[in-house]
Amino acid sequence: MKIRVERDALADAVAWSARTLPTRPSLPVLAGVVFSAAGDSITLSSFDYEVSTRVEIDADVESAGSALVSGRLLADIARSLPAQPVVIAAEGSRVTITCGRASFTLPTLPIDDYPAMPEMPQSSGTLDGDTFASAVAQVAIAAGRDDTLPTLTGIRMEIDGDSVVLAATDRYRLAVRELSWTPASSSTQAELLIPAKTLADAAKSFGSAETVTVALAPDGERLIGFEGDRRRTTSRLLDGEFPKYRSLLPNESSTHAVVDTAALIEAVKRVALVAERNTPVRLTFTQGEVGLRAGTGDDAQAEEALEASVTGDDIEIAFNPGYLLDGLTAIDAGQAQFAFTQSTRPAVLSGIVEDQVRSEYRYLLMPVRLTG
């Protein structure tokens, strides 16, 4: 195999294919990325029995062939190469990478021992790439990171006709995003639990794609695929039952408050500077303003007040500042609306654009119990 490829295209493709490689693979070959050259392009792919990736880029192929090399080392090398065309040649058990006056020689891994890549399921519909990336990012922030509770480390995807609902929770907050897609069949229905990190990484990479194809495997195969912009990835689904989250979203609220999002983000960051670990930020909503406080007793303390439009009863409530900032950033709107029932009950955060509440995204946040 011998090919010539542009440096930037190679570095981007290698980074994409190597991003899911396991740190401690169960088999040495699973740390590798497969190069396949044919026609006028090369394909780079990886697979760890859970997630597969495949990306195709243009190249001048002098001689076709395949090789398996260490993915992380290849990614480091490709990223460090000078801005010149790259020549890659494989002969025997060695691969040579030449770029300008820089040259690297890498040992190959036994490609015959590499597992067969899973087949991409048949297309079930398409999504706008930018919308898909934005929706997954809004929801993924609330996914759990505790591997002892694997069900909570996933994002639930519910498909019903032309509607898609994404939801994630770590028990302390819940994020729900509704969006539309173009299904291959109007009768399409599915309920899936996808690893949050896998879905978030994939969606971010597909953000520049005009459309993203969603491929659902037949019942029993527990596999989902995404494809766009000459890239594709598949992922095994998680087992287990996702919490019945809809019952957590209140049907009505006794207090609504609207605050400038950017101003509140900056105020929370300032006040939280004195908040020790696991110490909340208190928010007191009264007519015309919201007061923020952190720190008590002999500890460092901070206070700040912002203008707010408050409808309903006054309320004092406390939140984990990190979780609150995650939600305020995710709503992606000039104004933030809080909907409250009681100071001990979850609050629902939504964005307001052009005086309209964006109901397609809701961020529910559990309060921290106030003491003193």
Q: List the chain pLDDT tens, one digit each, 372 residues.
A: 999 999 999 999 999 999 889 888 999 999 999 999 999 999 999 999 999 999 999 999 999 999 999 999 999 999 999 999 999 999 989 999 999 999 999 999 999 999 999 999 999 999 999 999 999 999 999 999 998 999 999 999 999 999 999 999 999 999 999 999 999 999 999 999 999 999 999 999 998 899 999 999 987 789 999 999 999 999 999 999 999 999 999 989 999 999 999 999 999 999 999 987 778 999 999 999 999 999 877 788 999 999 999 999 999 999 999 999 999 999 999 999 999 999 999 999 999 988 889 889 999 999 998 765
Residue 118 lies in a domain: no
Residue 370 lies in a domain: no
Q: Residue 72 is encoded by which pair of tokens?
A: 């992380």
Query: Looking at the structure, do residues 234 and 254 belong to the same domain, yes or no?
Result: no
32 occurs within a structural domain: yes
| Rounded-to-integer distance, Cα 39 and Cα 60, Å | 8
316: Cβ contacts below 8 Å, ≥ 6 apart: 282, 283, 284, 285, 343, 370
Segments of 6-83 assigned E as strands: 32-38, 41-47, 51-58, 60-63, 65-70
| Domain assignment of residue 103, given as a range | 2-113
Q: Are residue 218 and residue 258 in the same domain, yes or no?
A: no
- Structure token pair of residue 239: 């087992």
On whether both 97 and 132 belong to a single domain, the answer is no
Q: Is residue 85 part of a domain?
A: yes
Pair (189, 289) in one structural domain:
no
* Coil, strand or helix at 248: helix
Token reading at 95: 């691969």
* CA trace torsion 147, 149, 153, 158 (10° rounding): 150
Enter the tokens of residue 196: 């949050």
Is residue 157 in a domain? Answer: yes
Q: Is residue 199 located within the same domain as residue 290?
A: no
Mark whether 142 and 101 lie in a shared domain. no
Answer yes or no: do 294 and 316 share one domain: yes
The answer to whether residues 12 and 100 belong to one domain is yes
Final residue of a domain: which of 230, 246, 262? 246
Give the pairing type, strands 356-365 and 173-180.
antiparallel
Q: Is residue 285 part of a domain?
A: yes
In a domain, 38, yes or no: yes
The torsion region of residue 346 among left (phi > 0), alpha (psi -120 to 50) and beta comes to beta
Same domain, 207 and 184: yes
Task: Verify that 104 and 146 share a domain, yes or no.
Answer: no
**d(Cα 310, Cα 303) in Å, to the nearest integer?**
19
CATH assignment at residue 134? 3.10.150.10
Structural domain ending residue among the three candidates 226, 246, 266 = 246
- Quick one: 79 and 159 in the same domain? no
Domain membership flag for residue 372: no
Same domain, 235 and 296: no
> What's the domain count of the chain?
3
Q: Mark which of 85, 113, 141 sits at the end of a domain.
A: 113
